[in-house]
Structure 1
Amino acid sequence: MTLDESRTFIPVRIAILSVSDTRSLTDDRSGQTLVDRLTDAGHTLADRKMLRDERDQIADQLRAWCADPDIDVILTTGGTGLTGRDVTVEAHRDVYEKEIDAFGTVFTMISMQKIGTSAVQSRATGGVANGTYLFALPGSTGACKDAWDEILVKQLDYRHRPCNFVEILPRLDEHQRRK
């Protein structure tokens, strides 16, 4: 796992969706943490919204962003827990064409180092739809930092070796193209 300095950094366009019944954009620390980290890394904030824990509304927003050619990646924060109102994971899975199973596994491994067995309560997930990457992160600021710092900052950097999400981004929707 190295950074190949001979390759040019390619910024990606990232939309942030915070899911909460109690917060607004003005006090959304987790969403702001992701915004700060993605812009510090050289990526572009394509859009940012806040929605309540409503599965259909979340899925509709994800679909709208997946249909937008100016958005490459969607990060959601919040609604990944086990309570009755936590429906972000289900909304993501309503939209996914393919799930990135290892994302949740690697996130859990990282979380175990920080919070021990409490990591079992996280349902972080990732997937692909309509040529767009989607990642559902927990609502805690610490979890967002861990997901970004330990996984996403590397996988969203074209220079990361031996492989990364950016280099296959143009091929995510190749099955939809005419042959």
Structure 2
Amino acid sequence: MTEAREFLPLNLAVLTVSDSRTEANDSSGQTLVSGLTEAGHRLHDKKIVPDDIYRIRAVVSQWIADPAVHAIISTGGTGVTGRDGTPEAVTPLLDKMLDGFGEVFRMISYQDIKSSTMQSRALAGVANGTYIFCVPGSSGACRTAWENLIKDQLDFRTRPCNLVQLMPRLLEK
């Protein structure tokens, strides 16, 4: 018999990477905030930064250094244009990549957007014991990532395993 697990609310930060979004029109960031709060997690912080790798890296680094932040979800900047730099900003900060996240995200997205999914450079990893998920900037992509991947992995009750149960061991040497 498997013992029952209780939900463990986490502190999450949401970063919108965009040259044009504001709090008034940030539908992607709001999709993520709604998803995480409806699931029972706490919004620790939310910011919007322009598509600039150093500004992205500064915010993510600040949250990585804050022990109260358990996970970061960024939206935007994962495409292939000259201004899309979220992967370049975040990857050097990661201690470990979660390669399966991007692979599965693109597989799921293929059902909706077909071959256009190859333009997505969605990624995830862990840095200083903090999970980081970088997803495309559309609200549909945010919903896909949250509902199909992130929500269950940030839920301690998910079987057979989840990312929350690994949190106590993330900083082991």
For normalisation by structure 1, the TM-score amounts to 0.94
When the two chains are superposed, the root-mean-square deviation of aligned CA atoms in Å is 1.0
| Corresponding residue pairs, total | 172
Letter in structure 1 aligned against 2:120: S
2:145 paired residue number: 147
Counterpart check, 1:109 vs 2:107: yes
**Hey, what's the Cα distance between the residues in 2 that align with 1:114 and 1:131?**
33
- What pairs up with 1:13-162 in 2 under 5 angstroms? 13-162=11-160
In structure 2, list runs of 5 or more residues that go unmatched. none
Output one character per residue of 1:17-41: Cα deviation in whole Å (capped at 9) or x when no partner: 0000011122100000000000000
In structure 1, list runs of 5 or more residues that go unmatched. none
Alpha-carbon offset, residue 5 of structure 1 = 8.1
**Hey, what's the Cα distance between the residues in 2 that align with 1:56 and 1:170?**
30
Alpha-carbon offset, residue 135 of structure 1 = 0.6
For normalisation by structure 2, the TM-score amounts to 0.97
Give the 3-state SS of the residue equivalent to 1:27 in structure 2.
Answer: coil
Alpha-carbon offset, residue 145 of structure 1 = 0.2
**Hey, what's the Cα distance between the residues in 2 that align with 1:157 and 1:82?**
32
**Hey, what's the Cα distance between the residues in 1 that align with 2:14 and 2:21?**
15
Alpha-carbon offset, residue 170 of structure 1 = 1.5
Runs of 4+ in 1 over 2 A off after TM superposition: none
**Hey, what's the Cα distance between the residues in 1 that align with 2:90 and 2:74?**
9
User: 1:59–1:94: 8 Å Cα contact kept in structure 2?
Assistant: no
Give the 3-state SS of the residue equivalent to 1:17 in structure 2.
Answer: strand
Identity %: 52
Alpha-carbon offset, residue 6 of structure 1 = 1.5
